[in-house]
Amino acid sequence: SFYSLIINGFTWPLANYIYPTWISNLILIELIVFIVFIFLIKFLLDLNYSKSIKISFISNLVTYLLGIIIIFI
């Protein structure tokens, strides 16, 4: 969906900017992206925080695990 493009278009560059510039801890970067994701989902999709947290957690967990799998393939 269009909102998915907006959210990922914002958080992916954010993570790639933070990693080499400020923080080299991948878990901390994922936490920052997770929090930003929550607010973007909440306001763009007009959902409550509970649903926004669940969606953010699941989507970031999936992309994190895919990244780990890709690294070790």
Q: Which residue has the higher pLDDT, 48 or 30?
A: 48
Confidence of residue 21 (pLDDT cuts 50, 70, 90): confident
Q: Quote the pTM value.
A: 0.76
Q: Record the tokens describing residue 37, joined without a space.
A: 């994701």
Q: Can you tell me the distance from the alpha carbon of 6 to that of 69, in angstroms, rounded to the nearest whole number?
A: 25
- pLDDT on residue 67: 82
Q: Record the tokens describing residue 5, joined without a space.
A: 């493009």
